[in-house]
Amino acid sequence: MNAKIVLLPGDGIGPEVIREAEAVLRHIATKFGHTFTFSSHMIGGCAIDATGSALPDETLAACREADAVLLGAVGGPKWDDPKAKTRPEAGLLKIRKELGLYANLRPITTFDCLLDSSPLKRNIIEGTDILFFRELTGGLYFGKSGLEQNADGSETAYSTMTYSTHEIERIVRMAAQAAMKRRKKLTMVDKANVLEASRLWRRVSERVVKTEFPELAYDVVLVDSMAMHLISRPATFDVVVTENMFGDILTDEGSMLPGSLGLLPSASLGEPGPGLYEPIHGSAPDIAGKGLANPLATILAAAMLLRHSLNLSEEAAAIEAAVTSVLNSGHRTKDIAQKGQTSISTTEMGQLVLKAL
């Protein structure tokens, strides 16, 4: 097949990990007889420096034309000034909104050979295989917000969590469909004991599940208790669906289950059009340019890209198997190396995955 893939390396370790993932995609194209055309564009801090905008029009236009987008990471201390006109993160939020990417899929799976790299005990995380659906274009991130000056010289700021029936329905439906293909269990996380927006989530979600997916085992959990259950009984969850900010926080927490943020990919999907794939980790400015970054999350994001946007599940599975086999052979980047274990560089890890393929 022919596919146009846009690469958005971004900032920090973004370019290093994208380089390895691109090599893996090129290898897959050759091996399976596909033609992938790559083009690279700016997003985030580097785009602010070059154009003044965190998401230049040219980048957005290229993404709209593409079959799929693979992103590294954005941000860094250089652009952290709270008084700055624009921030790298604005580019990420804008691309999500503009491409209508309302569903962020974050799988949290553990690798058997890494069970001892997790800060949690082996017997707790063993068997964990969760698929998070984080709502990505609504809630506090996009609701009405503002900053007002008070008469006494102090300030009042507000951000509102806003959701419509339609926004809840479509993501719950997508999560439920995924659960039907897995272990048929769906958990919806909210804060309905306090928030009006959560009470709408609860009503809409229950209706969608009960009327359209009666076979699903369905439960609702409050977000504070979910934070606890996620580390006390992670293996009991299958698909979890939740609003934007709860999902942001819970998936960072969940990323510690497999032992490192450096292993987890994510996919942002939505309206017809390209999906956006990225590692769940950030730009890690402290290790940028040192060859220390773990490219596996981005390589696994490339596998998700093949599966979800190009419908190439055999190719995706080949990448995932290659990653597992490299880890099984004991190779570790610094983030997942145990005390005393030697670690390899970003490029060495990428090369090993290519060899395994």
DSSP, res 194: T
Burial class (CB in 10 A: 0-12, 13-18, 19+), 275: buried
238 among known catalytic residues = no
The partner in contact with residue 320, picked from ligand IPM, Mn ion, none with C-beta cut-offs of 5 to 8 angstroms by kind, is none
The end-to-end CA distance of the chain, in Å, is: 19
Beta carbon nearer to Mn ion, 56 or 279: 279
Question: Which one-letter DSSP state was computed for residue 36?
Answer: E
Decide: is 212 part of the binding site for ligand IPM (CB under 6 A).
no
Q: Which residues contact Mn ion by CB under 5 A?
A: 248
- For residue 169, the minimal CB distance to Mn ion (Å) is 24
Catalytic residue among 112, 116, 219, 224: 224
* Residue, CB closest to ligand IPM: 89
Residue 89 is a binding residue for ligand IPM (CB under 6 A):
yes
With CB atoms as reference, the residue minimizing the distance to Mn ion is 248
Contacts of residue 129, defined as CB under 8 A and 6 or more positions apart, other chains included, come to 107, 108, 109, 110, 235, 238
Q: Both tokens of residue 285?
A: 């400015």
Residue 43 contacts residue 7 (beta carbons within 8 Å): no
Tokens of 209: 């599940």
CB-neighbour burial class of residue 353 (10 A; exposed 0-12, middle 13-18, buried 19+): buried
Using CB under 6 A as the binding rule, whether residue 129 contacts ligand IPM is answered as no
Q: Does 66 bind ligand IPM (CB under 6 A)?
A: no
**Alpha carbon of 157 to those of 145, 148, 149, 160, 306: distances in Å?**
7, 6, 9, 10, 42
Q: Which of 92, 168, 223, 250 binds ligand IPM (CB under 6 A)?
A: 92
* DSSP summary character for residue 285: G
The CB-of-248 to ligand IPM minimum distance in angstroms stands at 5
- Give alpha helix (H) positions in 213-289: 223-232, 244-254
- Please, which residue, 89 or 129, has the CB nearer to ligand IPM? 89
Nearer to Mn ion, 278 or 335 (CB): 278
Residue 336 Cβ vs ligand IPM, minimum distance, rounded to whole Å? 20
Please identify, using beta-carbon distances, which residue of 261 and 344 lies nearer to ligand IPM: 261
Q: Kindly state the tokens that stand for 170.
A: 């479509």
Closest distance between Mn ion and the C-beta of residue 247, in Å?
9
CA-CA distance, 130 to 237, in Å (whole number)? 6
* Amino acid letter, 47: A
Identify which of residues 92 and 168 has a Cβ nearer to ligand IPM in the complex.
Answer: 92
| Binders in 213-272 for ligand IPM, by CB under 6 A | 248
Q: Does 320 sit near ligand IPM (CB under 6 A)?
A: no
Which helix (DSSP H) or strand (DSSP E) does residue 35 occupy? strand 35-40
228 within 8 A of 189, measured Cβ to Cβ = no
Q: Catalytic: which of 11, 67, 102, 141? A: 141
At closest approach, how far in Å is the CB of 92 from ligand IPM? 5
Question: Per the residue annotation, which of 11, 67, 190, 191 is the catalytic one?
Answer: 191
191 given a catalytic annotation:
yes
* Closest separation in Å from C-beta 280 to Mn ion: 7
Q: Where are the beta strands (DSSP E) in the chain?
A: 2-10, 35-40, 68-73, 103-109, 129-135, 145-149, 155-159, 185-190, 217-222, 239-242, 265-269, 275-279
Nearer to Mn ion, 59 or 266 (CB): 266
Catalytic residue status for 252? yes
Whether 339 is catalytic is no
**85 belongs to the catalytic site:** no
**Binding stretches for ligand IPM (CB under 6 A):** 89, 92, 248
Catalytic residue numbers, as ranges: 141, 191, 224, 248, 252
